[in-house]
Amino acid sequence: MVVSMDEALDEMSLKTLAVLCSDELKRYRRKEYSSDRYCTELIRRAVTEQSDQAWMVMQQCFSEIICYWIHNHSSHETVLRLDTEENYVAQTIARFWYAMRDRPATFSSLASALSYLRATLNGILIDAVRTYQRSQFVSLPYLNFLSEAATEETPDDESTWQSIQPLIPDARESRVAYLLYFCGLKPREIMIHCRGEFSDVKEIYNLNKNLLDRLRRNQDRLRRSLAQAE
């Protein structure tokens, strides 16, 4: 009896499918012709059949392209300080699995599957950056000056930054505040990632000192601004 291509694909072992899927992904990244059939079959088995083995193989096959996306993300330096590539890959596959668990979807092409997978990764990276930024604002030194005026609700990071900015008319102090407390960079990291902006680390420390002195002098005004932001 002649076996059709679909039947042959259905009967293919996961080990063989993994090799062929990895080859398709490499061709896709090089923008070479690829049939997509092996990758879509692997995803079908993972999503439709809910095969644990297929999910594990899928994570192994797609880890390289997910890592590539991480390194090309606009916040890659921040997110890689917060967690490892391996954990981001695992989280991406896990969230993809969770989304597909109750409402399985079929992907007609590798491009559509990768688009969904990349959107999943982007959501994870955005969440990581927002959580980190929020923690940095909590540790901003000016909060020590306002502890006695604490309220039931604390402004979010965006409102806090908007409240601080009018108090920092000096553009370079404002830039240092953003890099130190919003981006969470250390002075030496600023010198590395923002080449040419500052003459040396000492300048960054001096600008930060001026910034904190300015906030101390404007405690009352800052309290009023934060109260309006709540």
What is the tens place of the pLDDT at every residue in 11-26?
888 999 999 999 999 9
Contacts of 12 (CB under 8 A, 6+ apart): 20, 41
Cα distance between residue 105 and residue 113, in whole Å: 10
First to last CA, the chain: 73
pLDDT at 135: 59
Task: Give 149's pLDDT tier (boundaries 50, 70, 90).
Answer: very low
Q: How far is CA 89 from the centre of its chain?
A: 11
Cα distance between residue 99 and residue 123, in whole Å: 13
- Lowest mean pLDDT, pick from 63-72, 87-96, 181-190: 181-190
Q: Which of 183, 184, 143, 173 is nearest to 160 (CA)?
A: 143
Q: How far is CA 215 from the centre of its chain?
A: 31
Is 60 exceeded by the pLDDT of residue 183? yes
Per-residue pLDDT tens over the stretch 117-131: 999 999 899 888 877
- The count of other CB atoms within 10 Å of the CB of residue 139 is 10
Percent of the chain clearing pLDDT 70 (strictly above): 77
Percent of the chain clearing pLDDT 90 (strictly above): 18
> Which helix or strand (DSSP H or E) is residue 213 part of?
helix 201-217
Is 60 exceeded by the pLDDT of residue 49? yes
- For range 137-161, the mean pLDDT: 46
What crossing angle do the helices spanning 37-47 and 14-29 adopt, rounded to 10°?
130
Top pLDDT among 141 and 56 is at 56
> Which helix or strand (DSSP H or E) is residue 19 part of?
helix 14-29
Is 50 exceeded by the pLDDT of residue 164? yes
Is 80 exceeded by the pLDDT of residue 81? yes
